Structure 1
Amino acid sequence: MRPPAPDPADADAWNAYLAEGNAKQARKRAAADVLLRDPSGRVLLVNPTYKPGWDLPGGMSEANEPPEETVRRELMEELGVRVTVLGLLVVDWVAPHGPWDDQLAFVFDGGVLSEEQADRLRPRDDEVSEAVFVTAAEAAGRLGDRIRRRFGHTLLALEAGRPLYLHDGTPLM
């Protein structure tokens, strides 16, 4: 039987108790992407150099980094563009696959870039080889299965004006 939690009034004992619990609990990887459009309604895709296939711009969160900050940081590092996160579109729980544990993948609405911003987008580091605006149909043709499902539901969430919760790209609720 587990001993009772210490009295929260005993700050040192309480913090030690919380630290022990924190050390034993599961850690989740988090990824955060953004849906960015140009004035004609095309969506931005990037071609990462470190994995096969195209993706939405974004990346993996660093330790203790909020997902919306991940999007801002990744877009500045990879494409040299500052984005304003307008809202959450999708949270996708991704089941363990290959050598990877599960993760939470967030997709945020980055709005519509100006024509000037869209024209200036270029890869800025070695993680992205290309950045292109394509129609939704073209995007679906370039994306792998899991990302394609997430992308499709991202567009539905944008249209509906409310976020969706997915399991491996499939709505649960």
Structure 2
Amino acid sequence: MSSEEYDRTLPRKRVAAGVLFFDPEGRVLLVDPVCKPLWEIPGGAVEWDESPRAGAVREVREELGLEWEPGRLLGVDWRGERPGRSEGLVYVFDGGVLGGDRLAGVRLQAEELGAMEFVAVNRVRERLVERLAVRVEACVRAREQGLTVYMEHGVPV
């Protein structure tokens, strides 16, 4: 079997990239997508032949209107298959602090987002689905410790 033939037998996984932006007080930026009932962090699906880092840059530009250079990788979360969704990998990058001029440069794209708000880390569970809240909390801890965290279903392994 050739390498090309073998490659075609391998599973394909969904890949997404998200970004944690903070305000000067350490609160996390959450966004309200117009197509979903619950809040999320900025980011989305990585496109074909696009790296997770490049996907994060594109999604931030599309959603927030920001030209931005990603910080370090905070975490990778493997999500198993569930009803209606294949398994996937989610990469979370450090967006740094959005304050002053950077925050003034945010332009929510109306077709993508209805609102944004900085939320204290201990309150993200009030806005996010459980799996995303756990992922955000783990990535915030990793940022504080200067680490990168690997997760499965949002739980550090």
Smaller-chain TM-score range?
Answer: over 0.9
Structure 1 residue 125, shift from structure 2 partner: 4.2
User: For the pair shown, which has the larger CA radius of gyration, 1 or 2?
Assistant: 1
**What aligned pairs does 1:110-125 form with structure 2 within 5 A after superposition?**
110-125=95-110
Q: Secondary structure at the match of 2:39?
A: coil
Distance in structure 2 (CA, Å) of the matches to 1:137 and 1:115: 24
Aligned to 1:14: none
Q: Of the two structures, which has the highest relative contact order with CA contacts closer than 8 Å and spacing of 6 or more?
A: 2
Structure 2 counterpart of 1:82? 67
- C-alpha distance in 2, partners of 1:156/1:76? 26
Q: Does 1:18 align with 2:24?
A: no
Matched length? 157
Query: Who is 2:146 aligned against?
Result: 161
Q: Which residue identity lines up with residue 135 of structure 1 in the other structure?
A: A
Paired with 1:149 and 1:165, the residues of 2 have a C-alpha distance of 12
1:100 paired to 2:78: no
Secondary structure of residue in 2 paired with 1:39: coil
Residue 46 of structure 2 is matched in structure 1 by 61
1:35 paired to 2:47:
no
Report sequence identity in percent.
38
Q: Is the CA contact (8 Å cut-off) linking 1:89 and 1:164 kept in structure 2?
A: yes
Letter in 2 for 1:53: L
Q: Equivalents in 1 of 2:83, 2:65: separation in Å?
A: 32
Q: Which runs of 5+ in 2 are unaligned?
A: none
Q: What is the alpha-carbon distance in structure 2 between the residues aligned to residue 122 and residue 135 of structure 1?
A: 22
Superposition CA RMSD, Å: 1.4
Distance 1:161 1:141 in 2: 26
Structure 2 length normalisation: TM-score?
0.93
